[in-house]
Amino acid sequence: MRVVESKADLQQQIRQWRHDGDHIAIVPTMGNLHAGHISLVKLAQDYAERVVVTLFVNPTQFAEGEDFEDYPRSRESDSMRLKKIGADLLFAPDVATVYPFGIENATTISVPGLTENFCGASRPGHFHGVTTVVARLFFLVRPDVAVFGQKDYQQQLIIRRMIDDLALPIRVITVPTVREDDGLAMSSRNAYLSDVERAVAPVLYSALREIGARLKNGRRDYEALEEKAWAALSDAGFKPEYVAIRRALDLSVPDRHCDELVVLAAAHLGRARLIDNVVVTV
């Protein structure tokens, strides 16, 4: 596996692969890789001859007071894990490579509508930073395929909308959430959980699964189901941000006849902010 940091080295390799007729997949990450990330890379290998994994902790998607400085960084072990599974290239740029004119002077991309609720409401500016950096990585790598995890459900919808709106020739693949044995969605931020909090954390997934089961059994009193899950999370020690049942296609409020739903939640548990979702066909 090749590790590159510069735009010139990256694009030299991309040109060679294109000359050879290879398709290219991108897996954007902020590093501190876990089994969930590895599943993205392995699936990307099914869709393209070459897989580029990006490692960049993007400052523009962190609001003031969030954990940008403390975000776990483990480039050496990340590189070893990627080499072991046969990734072709790790692109680990610095801020100046991604934002050559500086963050304050950067051209930005925003997606209205989908970014305004849920994580977008609780983390103002977050998705603006996400779409801007993902677009920049797309323009640098020029992939045929991009692979994202379902855990960040709202994010992958936003990126799909951006790609469609800008007519980018990129196919998005979404990989089901990879979980610990007790159901907790894998996340780099799980490292913030204390031992006691870690034992409580799977309650989030359990609450979403319970809503999903009730929806499958015919319940359509969405607000009541959301309120019950909120109470269960609060009783367990979480500080919920949102629990919502929405149309899976676009996160709009569903009517009683909608047959593809997603149950989304975000909640703080100690220092960790956890998100999760369950997709339900009814």
Instruction: For residues 265 and 235, give the distance between their C-alpha atoms in angstroms, rounded to a whole number.
Output: 15
Residue positions annotated with a catalytic role: 37
Closest CA to 62 of 144, 15, 136, 123: 123
How far, in Å, CA of 196 to CA of 202, rounded? 12
Per the CB < 8 A criterion, the answer to whether 83 and 75 are in contact is no
What the block records as the tokens of 229 is 């899950």
Q: Give the DSSP letter string of the chain.
A: -EEE-SHHHHHHHHHHHHHTT--EEEEEE-S---HHHHHHHHHHHHH-SEEEEEE---GGGS-TTSSTTTS---HHHHHHHHHHHT-SEEE---HHHHSTT-STT------TTTTSSTHHHHSTTHHHHHHHHHHHHHHHH--SEEEEETTSHHHHHHHHHHHHHTT---EEEEEPPPB-TTSPBP-GGGGG--HHHHHHTTHHHHHHHHHHHHHHTT---HHHHHHHHHHHHHHHT-EEEEEEEEETTT-PPP-TT--EEEEEEEEEETTEEEEEEEEEE-
